[in-house]
Structure 1
Amino acid sequence: MMPEISVIISTYNAEAWLENVLWGYSCQTFKDFEIVIADDGSGPKTKALLDEFVKATSLKITHVWQEDDGFQKSRILNKAIVACKADYIVMSDGDCIPRADFLEVHQNNKEKGYFLSGGYFMLPMDISQKITKNDILLGNCFQLKWLKNNGLKSSFKNNKLTAKGIVSKLLNSLTPTNPSWNGHNASGWKQDIVAINGFDERMQYGGQDRELGERLTNFGIKSKQIRYSAICVHLDHKRGYKTPESIAKNQAIRKHTRDSKIPWTDFGIAKK
């Protein structure tokens, strides 16, 4: 049977964080989904972890892997898009643990002609390292009291974890943040993503997800904000692949996309 949702999770040699993320998906309230791992060249430990989860849980996991060739996230995401069985795709990262209602929120808010823009709740490294499997299954890592007991500082952003119902909808409407395509928490229809040829594979780290959203907008797809409704906590990690050169290159590509209003890239799923 074709699942209702395909979840693409990107990863690269980060088994400890990916394991926590998968435990998050194991206790989703919405059950009709598959997971497609977009693996940008990890070693054998990642595959071994995925094999364990398939045996130990009811998760349906497809492992899409490519040879390590530096940071080629756009390329592996395109391969993962092709592998998705569902008509609707949720994208996130292997360092973002979803709250139990994460996929339910995406499912309830999906709409033809739109993509959904979610956010994340960033955790510092010391708290990220304290989270256990039990904390995920019990939902502790999404509880403000537990996080504060483990060193979280007070901030307006903490409302992401506590806002419910009308309050979360109000904050979604009032936030000054644009409803862009965010690779850690966004969703849309596969036919729309394929129609613009997926991600631009010239782009390394720095805004390739936003550029996809900009081309979806050029294609006529509107966006809806769900950053205070679809909650995931972002585990901290180093970003050695972030370089001034990749940022500048990607900014130039994004400027061309915005200025030219083009929906299609020649450097995506389908190649010339």
Structure 2
Amino acid sequence: MQFTSEVIIATYNKPDYLRLCLKSIAEQSQRPTSICLADDGSDARIDPVIEAFREAHPDLPLRRSWHEDQGFRKSVALNRAIAGSTCDYLVFLDDDVILHPEALARHFSCATRGRYLTGSLIRLDADLTGRLLEAQSYGWAEGRLAGWTPKGRSQWLKSMPFPSGVMALFDRLSPVAPNFQGACASVWRDDVLRVNGFEGNMSYGGLDKEIGVRLRNAGIRGRHVRYTAPAYHLDHGRSYADQKVKSANRAYILALRKSGETRAVNGIAELDAV
């Protein structure tokens, strides 16, 4: 199947993180057609990162979809990026993720109509994160992020310790529900438009899971690439997290499952009014 693809990176004022994320995309065995930064209002501090990437990789188009900083509006930023995309297939990442070199190839090879793909993050501790950010570099050792030691069997399996054909069995047999993981998920753009994108009324806490529920309500089922598309998450604080908001979001998602609703109330179609 031939299709165009775009990696959409949600970002906000984390230049050192973004630089490593972009590096991991440039080093993929199968690159996307283009990259888009869904920028939730970053200031000039990420400009040098963008300029340096464009200079180093003129063959990999990078565009920036930006809006004014008015607090946490990640969903709106993502919707703007989706609306401006001309590609068939979209991969969603956060700017704090380092992808295994074969991760995008796995997403692209599994892209199937009527499905979205979702991975799972390998969360790095603060010590290793600090060393990677200071070095502004990373390496791979025996297929895993150099310097990383898995904490338990689950993390170890997510690092793809066996050949991809074997790990694909783990994807199929996983008992974990394939909830949409916005830091490492992919879906056809037409399917995102069908459900009107992300819910712009939602702040931090479950906004990716919410769109996954609406996709499933629309008949678009999830599929794991949990064990075959490793994604390493750099540690950071979350000053924007609010437990009351997260609790309200959980209640909203539960109601959404029962209602069968498919379209975002404040989504892509409403962007002109934002």
Q: TM-score, normalised by structure 2?
A: 0.91
- Structure 1 residue 4, shift from structure 2 partner: 1.7
Question: How far is the alpha carbon of 1:99 from its aligned partner?
Answer: 0.9
Q: 1:3: how far off? A: 7.0
Which has the larger displacement, 7-16 or 27-36?
Answer: 27-36
Matches of 1:141 and 1:235 in 2, distance apart?
Answer: 20
Shift of 1:259: 1.1
Query: Does the Cα contact within 8 Å between 2:11 and 2:37 map onto a contact in 1?
Result: yes
Q: CA deviation at 1:156?
A: 3.4
After superposition, residues 47-86 of structure 1 pair within 5 angstroms as: 47-57=47-57, 58-86=59-87
1:107 lines up with 2:105 in the alignment: no
Relative distance call for 1:104 and 1:122 in structure 2 (3 A) is same
| Structure-to-structure mapping, 1:205-224, within 5 angstroms | 205-224=204-223
Instruction: Assess if the C-alpha contact under 8 Å between 2:128 and 2:147 holds in 1.
Output: no
- C-alpha contact 1:28 1:103 (8 A) present in aligned 2: yes
Determine the structure 1 residue equivalent to 2:154: 156
- Three-state SS of the structure 2 residue aligned to 1:247 is helix
1:12-51 equivalent positions in 2, closer than 5 A = 12-51=12-51
Partner in structure 2 of residue 251 of structure 1 = 250
1 CA distance for matches of 2:120 and 2:111?
16
Partner of 2:148: 147
Structure-1 separation of matches of 2:210 and 2:137: 37
| In 1: Cα distance, 2:86 partner to 2:140 partner | 29
Task: Quote the residue 2:269 is aligned against.
Answer: 270
Change (3 A) 1:159 1:75: same
Alpha carbons 1:115, 1:188 under 8 Å: kept: yes
Q: Deviations over 1:35-69 (max 9, x none)?
A: 11011111101122111110112331111111111
In structure 2, what is the Cα distance between the partners aligned to 1:157 and 1:29? Answer: 23
Counterparts of 2:7 and 2:103 in 1: how far apart (Å)? 11
Q: Secondary structure at the match of 1:25?
A: helix
CA distance in 2, matches of 1:223, 1:124: 29
Against the structure 1 CA distance between its residues 142 and 240, is the aligned structure 2 distance closer, same or farther, given a 3 Å change threshold? farther
Aligned pairs, number: 266
Structure 1: 4+ residue segments shifted above 6 A = none
SS at match of 2:147: helix
User: In structure 2, what residue type is equivalent to 1:120?
Assistant: L
Deviation at 1:140, TM superposition (A): 4.3
Q: What is the one-letter code of the residue matched to 1:23?
A: K
> Hey, what does 1:129 align to over in structure 2?
130
Give the drift of 1:133.
4.6
Task: State whether residues 37 and 63 of structure 1, in contact with CA within 8 Å, keep that contact through their aligned partners in structure 2.
Answer: yes
User: 1 CA distance for matches of 2:83 and 2:23?
Assistant: 25
Identity of aligned residues (%): 32
CA distance 1:32–1:144, shift in 2 (3 Å): closer
Kindly provide the amino acid, as one letter, of the partner of residue 178 in structure 2.
Answer: P
Distance in 2, matches of 1:141 and 1:62, equals 33
Q: Which runs of 5+ in 2 are unaligned?
A: none
Deviations 1:220-260 (A, max 9, x none): 11111110011110000001111012112212321221111
CA 140–240 in structure 1, closer or farther in 2 if over 3 Å, else same: farther
Partner of 1:202: 201
Q: 1:265 to 1:32 in 2, by over 3 A?
A: closer
Paired amino acid for 1:212: I
TM-score, normalisation: structure 1: 0.92
